[in-house]
Chains A and B, each alone.
Chain A
Amino acid sequence: MSDDDIIIGTRLDESWLTLEQVASTCQVEADWLQRRIAEGLVPPPERMGGIWRLSGTMVARIRRTRQVERDFDAFPELAALVADLLEEMDDLRAQIRRLTPR
């Protein structure tokens, strides 16, 4: 395909993916993702049969949890807590941005 062709983008939260595609999107391993979902440590993507659908926020959340686990050898529960706090911080920063006059 030429670089001049227009590529149609689809919203991730409207795309149904296999577990492997979800894991690849989040840059995690599929078995790690399944374990953490079963343990309730990462939000479960919407599921229908063998395919999944997830939002950009969930992707960020899953990636962060995995990164904290890996970078700091953190307990999964602790990594999930850190991801919770980072998400909260994102929300508060966004609120500050909205309230700050330009």
Chain B
Amino acid sequence: MQFKDYYQILGVARDEAADNIKKAFRKLARKYHPDISKEPDAEARMKEINEAYTVLSDPEKRAAYDQVGKGYQPGQDFRPPPDWDAGFEFSGEGYAPGDLHGAGDFSDFFAELFGRMGGQHGPFHAGHGAANLRGENHHAKVLLDIEDAYTSPSRQISLRVPNVDGSGRVRLTTRTLNVKIPKGVHEGQVIRLAGQGAPGFGNAPPGDLMLEVHFRPHGRFTADGRDLQLTLPVAPWEAALGSVIAVDLPQGPVKVRIPAGAQSGRQLRVRGKGLPDNPPGDLLLNIQVILPPADSPKAKQIYENMQSELAFDPRREGRD
């Protein structure tokens, strides 16, 4: 395991005052906030910054970190001596909701140093009066296909989760779960796996695992909430004269009536044919008129007939 220099991550000196550490954190949080940052590694950097600030903003954790990290360089192989944290009195409750982070958000290094839960003198003992404390919820993202919303498939999901070993230390390990995805999920929704979070303390129940749903990009469809959207190519005569077209959807083909005079760019809404839900979403069809190429004498003749027979000027609209 590599040593992490939290001071270097926040760009502050080892003896920096608490106020300046806070200022440095805010500056970096603004720069790397995943919602607004254009940096390619913003999410990873923000996790690192959050972890560093969690330690350096807490006087007890900072003192312990300073003591155990003395003489280490960033990236250097690191193994804390046994019982290094004896003598420190930690008041925090580790990965408690107040920290706003799940244990999975932090590195192995953090877990090794501050991950002792329920130990006799570790930083993550259950705290006063917390003999029965419900386990923490864990959060993860899950990447699904749009078709999964229709079929309720089972998916194998691998997660890095903290586990408490025999000595009370927390180790991050990989856990693989087979999850039955509920029907009708859509982007941004959360799937709850009851009891699959962190174990509770004492007789308290475990927390839940929350999976935030994201869809992989699809070649034909996009999803907007429960609405399903796709571009529908149509021939000029289908658009001009109106037609009934079979559209292939994940649940099977549906027949859609194209009204006469439909133009490219027009959107048709077919109620109830979007993603399954209660009520189901709508199907949004973006009409795209495709011209046949004038690549044969006959096709050229047809276009020339249209030119001579139809008084049509597409640029006249708006000038009259």
Measured CB to CB, the residues of A under 8 A from B are 3-15, 20-21, 23-25, 27-29, 55-57, 59-60, 63-64, 66-67, 70-73, 86, 89-90, 94, 97-98, 102
Contacts and interface: CB of A to CB of B under 8 A. Distances in A.
17 contacts: A3-B175, A3-B178, A6-B178, A9-B181, A10-B191, A12-B192, A12-B210, A15-B194, A21-B137, A25-B190, A27-B97, A56-B212, A64-B35, A71-B29, A72-B26, A86-B35, A94-B224
A9 B22 CA distance: 40
Given A13-B190, A55-B189, 13 more contacts: A3-B176, A7-B177, A7-B179, A8-B180, A9-B181, A11-B190, A25-B192, A25-B210, A27-B139, A28-B100, A56-B213, A71-B25, A97-B222
A63 to B, nearest CB: 8
Contacts of B29: 71-72
A90 B190 CA distance: 16
B94 to A, nearest CB: 14
Dominant SS among interface residues on chain A: helix
Contacts of B30: 72
Interface string B92-136: 000001101110000000000000000000000000000000101
Interface in B159-197: 175-182, 184-185, 187-194, 196
A11 B25 CA distance: 35
| 6 nearest CB pairs, A to B | A12-B190, A9-B191, A56-B190, A98-B222, A56-B189, A6-B178
B208 A98 contact: no
A9 B182 contact: yes
Interface of chain B, main secondary structure: mixed
Interface residues of B, number: 47
A36 B64 CA distance: 35
Contact of B224 (A7, A27, A56, A98): A98
Contacts of A90: 35
A25 to B, nearest CB: 6
Interface in B198-232: 207-208, 210-213, 217, 219, 222, 224, 229
